[in-house]
Structure 1
Amino acid sequence: MPVLSFQLANVSFAIDLSVGHLVHFTVAEDGRVLSPLHRAPWVDDPDAVFEETTPPNVRRLSGDFFCAPFGRNDIEPGPTHGWPANSAWSHSGTDETEDRLTAVFTLDRKVMGATIEKRLSLRAGHPFLYQEHLLSGGEGAISVAHHVMVQMSAGGHLAVSPKAFACTPDEALEPEAARGRSILAYPAETRDLASFPLADGGAADLGRYPPGERHEDFVTLAEAASEDPHMTLGWSVASRNAENDRVLVLKNAAQLPVTMLWISNCGRDYAPWSGSHAGVLGIEDARASGAGHADSIRPNLLTERGIPTAYTLSEGQSISVRQAIGTCSIHESEGDVNGLAIGSGEITLRFATGRERSLTFDDGFLAGR
């Protein structure tokens, strides 16, 4: 499979051009190489077994990929999560200087008539991968999402920007007991992320991973409306126990107003999952309904509350969707993350212990500057 790798100073990434998935993203820090993203074990197994209907995005499941549409592809014919996550991309070129690298890729197919360009950037001294997707032209409404996957082999802590509520869809990911199992209640909703209803009547803390054993679950977190319209930063920070690092996923909350959590912890029993896909947390920032493309472009649970779930494509117009992934080690005595703030040229992590830590970051990127 065509995999291209790029590096600038101590940061690198690789992309699988057959499906547009990130193969890896790494940051060298203090003698360690941090590699936060998940790659499914069957991707590199030549003897892996798949059901005939397994889409390319599952066969090549890696790191992060861009979805257009997100989830069920029930408007235009196509696989789940759309052609950007399931078909070939071409490398259009790389712009590199001493302190900046930007690799550009173009989806070989069109989505609802739109051309999609992927721009992946590294900046010297920044422990981040900056991603931008440009949707140009086309016609109709489209949902979009990133599909970041973090490997948490011994669990960890998840901190997120303020949310209005968390909810599950009408039906569990695996409603058939012969194929898998879930533990959250479906449908259910709460404003307290530390106490999400379980199917058995208990409650799970969504800030602690995993919330249970041998389960496959999906929950949508809606960004809280801010009193300050300029405060549009949405964020998730996964702190990993065994790996002793943190994974930062940053977005413009006005662009991507929900974060969908996919909890994949040995909850599917059919190939290629086979009950062994363990310790994976999907952090899926989206402008979408979790129920698929058709639901995203009609009135739904989210739009009824003023939360947009699609973009409108039009000829002569371009839509830019930006997101950043970063990582850093965990320092002794920091404790759990309980806040994050963006400043001039940096992102600052705030901890329950009262300590703070800043990372170099392009504070204009998510705002489109």
Structure 2
Amino acid sequence: MLLQRTFLSLAVTAGVLSLASCNKDGEFKKTKSGIEYKIFKKDGSGYSYRSENAEADTAAYKARIGKIMTAHIEYRTSKDSVLQSSRKNMFGFPTFIQLQPVANKGTELEALSLLQPGDSGVFRFNVDSMFVRNTGQPAPPQVKKMGTTLTFFVKAVELMDEAKAKTVSEQMRPQIQAKIKQQATAQLAKDDQQLQDYIKKNNLTAQKDTSGVYYVVTQPGTGPKPKTGQLVSVKYKGSLLSGKVFDTSEKAPNNGKPVDFPIGVGGVIPGWDRVIPLLNKGSKATLLIPSGLAYGARGAGADIPADSPLRFDVELVDVKAAPPQPAGPSAADIQRQIEAMQQQQQAQGGR
């Protein structure tokens, strides 16, 4: 749970949202690989159900391999809860998907191969079957407890070559960055209010780091403070502000032993990298971390919802020397690289 903020990515609008109502129209068909599907084609201002059977990996699809499809994508559980939405993650912009040969049938890639630009599709997968085909392993328990099926909504927007896709993505980038900054500022203010309310409710006397993390030293240590790159050993318990514990070093695989990691190099969530160096070896502390310095808008699986400020009770057990770094290239290696580059340049100049 402590490693750099991650979220299980199962692959990789008004369109996708309208598909929720499309889902009620027509009947699901089924591919030979077991995907249940409905496909709708653009029809004026709406969509009409495509009654003919769709086939994957056709000559028409093979002609599109290597091109980029822009699309809005949404995953929903069998209980119709939104698990992941590209429209939300991309602030309304479509996501980019490079079309690949359909090596594994019964996966999202096969579903995408059934769509033409402008089409919308609803695809229902058996979770275990999809994971086996994607990874060779059954779905993990945290996914299976969300239901036995997963529904994949896709609004295929446009097909383009790599050059155009690069141009379009470069045009989108500053707009997305501006929205990310705007959202992060608003979320930080919201998180800060939640943390202040939590501190007041629990009668804590907390200090605030410039990053926005609050911390309470409950037992001062007398040892050195860790420096960037040094290896630290930390015991911890992580919980939501509701009090629900989502992770602890007391459980497997640590079984009460501290976790070791280099501090200040991005190996853990940013809130830890900011505050652990403020503690002396032997210290115990409570860290109250805003969501942007924890797992952010993605959350972490079923245990940590999106945009969740977190509490960590930690003990800095030990501070050790920085682990050895891989040796860099020798002077002889560098000289050989320079000579090779010079030879390449001379060869190109003689053409």
**TM-score, normalized by length of structure 1?**
0.19
Considering fraction of residues, name the structure with more strand: 1
Considering fraction of residues, name the structure with more helix: 2
**TM-score, normalized by length of structure 2?**
0.20
* Structure whose alpha-carbon radius of gyration is higher: 2
